[in-house]
Amino acid sequence: MSGYETPLFDLPKPPAPARQKAGSVLPGLGRPARREAGEGDGQGERGDQPSPTAPPSRSGSGHTSHAPHPPRDLEAMLDGLNPAQREAVVHSGTPLLIVAGAGSGKTRVLTNRIAYLLGERDVHPGEILAITFTNKAAAEMRERVEALIGPRARLMWVSTFHSACVRILRREHEHLGLPSSFTIYDADDSRRLMAQVARDLDLDVKRHPPRGLLAAVSSLKNELVDHESARDAAQSDREALIAEVYGVYQNRLIAARALDFDDLIMTTVNLFQAFPAVAESYHRRFRHVLVDEYQDTNHAQYVLVRELVGPADGEVPPAELCVVGDADQSIYAFRGATIRNILEFEADYPNAKTILLEQNYRSTQTILTAANAVIEKNRGRKPKNLWTDSGAGEQIIGYVADSEHDEAAFVANEVDRLTDEGLAKPGDVAVFYRTNAQSRAFEECFIRVGLPYRVVGGVRFYERKEVKDVLAYLRSLANPDDSVSVKRIINVPKRGIGDRAEAMLDALADRERISFGAAVDRADEAYGLAARSLNAVKGFAALMAGLREKVADGAGPAEVLEAILERTGYLAELQESTDPQDESRAENLQELVAVAHEYESTEGSEGIDGFLERVALVADADQIPGEHEDGLITLMTLHTAKGLEFPVVFLTGLEEGVFPHTRALGNVQELEEERRLAYVGITRARQRLYFSRAVLRSAWGAPAYNPESRFVAEVPKELIEWEREAPAPSSTAFGTQTPQLTASANKQRKTGFKSLGSSGREPISVAPGDRVIHDTYGLGTVVSVEGRTGEHATVDFGSEGVRKLVLAFAPLQKL
DNA sequence: TAGTTCATCCTTTTT
DNA sequence: GGATGAACTA
């Protein structure tokens, strides 16, 4: 994990704010900690010790506020920059908006600007707050500035919105008398909690799935609406329902002493608005606020930035604000981001200066022309025209595959060819797709042909079930009120506490107005709990008490994790299992312990709470995409690709319904967001760009026929050279280009597609006992055949396991 | 209570 | 093909 925080706390503490009524203004933190010191508080607040946070390998303290400046090298900061970039680096005095087209050197401008502030304008590093989109970007920026300016740069604060807010909340709790220890809920935890809320309110889960409720509540949160006012403003039944759900959900969060991802920002904003003195202390401190990827900020983040900058006519002059972004690269509206923030920047900050960076230093003119042509189709955007002086370059190569397997084979062949001809190495190549599920076809193919690859994103380490389970134990220890975590593990591994027992404990918790975790400790008082269940619950309570004792004795996260693995029998269960997957699960848990050890050895580590916070905020995917020197093909979603660049890019799955995604087809806004995603994908390529699609793609079991993506047609024809074009319309009843086959239509015609098979192969028919050979799994024996017309077969591949296959598409041959 | 089978509905994308 | 939930059996 590279997420590394420079402490904010080396500057004088801000004056304690006047005490005001905390109350309802601070959802999520409104309730004082019921438990006194003892649990979770042991580690104390270390914020004020200027803990040395430099990586051990580095030397030099850099902590004195007036350390001698490293040699000033103005030329290094401005060298090679074009006039617009220079202007952006040295601008001062008014808010600054840098509209940076793809590949226009945005990151360089930002880092050089910071270095310029530190080196030329004598700004103290502690006065700088730079907000990036990911932890990885933060780490890189810190590194680059340090390379320019020296170790002094470590004193500045570079982080994501979320990390920054957690820091602020942790720091301010003591002034406000709020609990310092809180649990951060990720999307999965929130969903579980919402499911509970749906049960509380007796909602029809079919009509109101927790996911949907969560999305609705989340958008209210980002608008900074509280549920009271939402209820008052409700126009329709649905709105009223959402407001009610919001209230119950929020109460549950408060009771669990938890904040979800949206709360982190919103609560900080509320804190600033409720306690102006706190807000002022921060904007007194941060004289320079820089925000990267401004087009992806949501309303709450926008307000937070305003609060940090401070009023134009305040007692303290506003901080110097510099935001960077490109409205055409906004791809997170689904998560609440508003392009409005960047489009209206000049209205929000009337004396703002705007600098446009249009010259591209990354791609060939062909690639840029394609990108421009696609993005032009979006309405209501400010015109922008990327250009380069580096020449036209190669044409885009297009390929129409029969199936997703064929598409993967094309990519593999092409990479081989480029490698053989010395035009590129596998490490130069990236394969982009719209959804994570699409990676499988490529992985299978690359494994078969022996191409080295890595998948970025996908199922992340911290999202794996076993890791989340064990972390839930740790969280339950750190915060016994965290009902989502306690419920998650109360019967994992199985110890005979079923739904009924859980319901009885829930009832007890309700009756006594205590948390679920507290009810576990008082299970004796629960009605209707079978003796056997009661014993099991008591056993669980004793287990937790034993572990808690260990925590109280000052054990660090690693030691506690090891105790959890052992005492719960979780690890033993995995080790005894014969399922080969459980082996890797056990390895993941060992890895988690190793991560905890590593965390403990980091200076300034803050015990279990700190470890959990780190785990919640640092996506481990951040560490993966680095330099391309290791010769691996990179596979990732288009969203993950933002901010990266590759010499060779394959844009795959260019089919209506895949990209653009089905869900976006009916909605202009969403379609435009898909188009921006296409724009992002295209502009990642430096020299070579490939478009590919599959005529026939099996999407969730059933095959689907998808016409060409509209984005392909939006690229001028002469830019694309088709290596293989769509086959002539076949004689089947459904033409290849039937526009917009809906999913349901596909389903109805499902059986009809069988005859097409994959890669031209005749579908085979098998019977139990037949010997077959599979491209990936090798030799096997058919165990059984399912489906009315025999479309699935279960085949035993011996050491490769027993697999269920779709006969029409499995690369399977009868012997 | 746990383990099994069956049905359904599904899916974006992520800090 | 996968995850989740409901219904049923041991």
pLDDT digits (tens, 9 = 90+) for A477-493: 999 999 889 988 888 78
Question: What gap in Å lies between CA A426 and CA A629, rounded to an integer?
Answer: 9
Is pLDDT larger for residue A30 or for residue A351? A351
Strand B contact with A206 (CB < 7 A): yes
Kindly report, residue by residue over A228-276, the tens digit of the pLDDT. 888 898 888 888 888 888 999 999 998 899 998 888 998 999 999 988 9
- Which nucleotide C1' is nearest A698 CA? C1
State whether the beta carbon of A527 lies below 7 angstroms from any atom of strand C.
no
Does A17 have pLDDT greater than 60? no
Least confident stretch, A220-224, A282-286, A305-309, A749-753: A749-753
Q: Pick out the nucleotide with least CA–C1' distance to A806.
A: C1
Q: How many CB atoms lie within 10 A of CB A329?
A: 23
A292 an active-site residue? yes
What would the two tokens of residue A607 be?
């015990």
Q: Where are the alpha helices (DSSP H) in A771-812?
A: none
Contact between A397 and A712 under an 8 Å Cβ cutoff? The reply is no
Residue A321 in this model has a pLDDT that exceeds 90: yes
A661 touches strand B (CB under 7 A): yes
User: Rounded CA gap, A461 and A719, in Å?
Assistant: 41
**Assigned token pair, A267:** 């609560």
Rg (Cα) of chain A, in Å, rounded?
Answer: 28
Longest Cα–Cα distance of chain A, Å, equals: 85
Q: Which of A111, A160, A295, A329 is catalytic?
A: A329
Residues 573-592 of A with CB under 7 A from strand B: none
Banded model confidence at residue A591, pLDDT cuts 50, 70, 90:
confident
Give the pLDDT score at A781. Answer: 58
Q: Give the integer Cα–Cα distance in Å for A317 and A334.
A: 35
Distance in Å from C9's C1' to A786's CA comes to 23
What 8-state DSSP symbol labels residue A640? Answer: H
Does pLDDT of A758 surpass 70?
no
Higher pLDDT, A483 or A796: A483
Confidence tier at A572 by pLDDT (50, 70, 90): confident
Find the nucleotide nearest A529 (Cα to C1′): B1
Among the listed residues A172, A293, A326, A402, the single catalytic one is: A293
Q: What is the pLDDT of residues A159-178, one digit of tens each?
A: 999 999 998 998 888 777 77
Q: For residue A498, which nucleotide's C1' is closest to its Cα?
A: B1
A790 touches strand C (CB under 7 A): no
Task: Report whether A634 contacts A446 (CB < 8 A).
Answer: no
Q: What is the pLDDT of residues A63-118, one digit of tens each?
A: 333 344 444 567 777 778 889 999 999 999 899 999 999 999 999 999 999 999 99
- Taking the C-alpha atoms of residue A301 and residue A306, their distance in angstroms, rounded to an integer, is 9
CA of A541, C1' of C9: distance in angstroms: 31
Range with lowest mean pLDDT among A199-203, A313-317, A702-706, A729-733: A729-733
Quick check: A685 pLDDT over 90? yes
Mean predicted confidence (pLDDT) in A509-519: 91
What residue ranges in A79-235 does DSSP mark as E strands? 96-100, 128-132, 157-160, 183-185
Report the candidate in A366, A269, A382 with the shortest Cα–Cα distance to residue A325: A382
A106 classed as catalytic: yes
> Of the listed A106, A284, A585, A710, which one is catalytic?
A106
Residue A780 has pLDDT above 60, yes or no: no
Tell me the per-residue pLDDT of A327-360, one tens digit each, with 9 for 90 and over: 999 998 888 888 899 999 999 999 999 999 999 9
Which chain B nucleotides are covered by protein, judged by CB under 7 A?
Answer: 1-3, 9-15
- Asked if residue A297 has pLDDT above 90, the reply is yes
Q: Tell me which amino acid residue A749 is.
A: R
Whether residue A715 contacts residue A374, with contact meaning beta carbons closer than 8 Å, is answered with: yes
User: In angstroms, how far is B9 C1' from A206 CA?
Assistant: 10
Q: Which of A545, A572, A538 is nearest to A480 (CA)?
A: A545
A224 touches strand C (CB under 7 A): no
pLDDT of residue A315: 87
Q: Is the CB of A639 under 7 A from strand B?
A: yes
A663 touches strand B (CB under 7 A): yes
A107 has catalytic annotation? yes
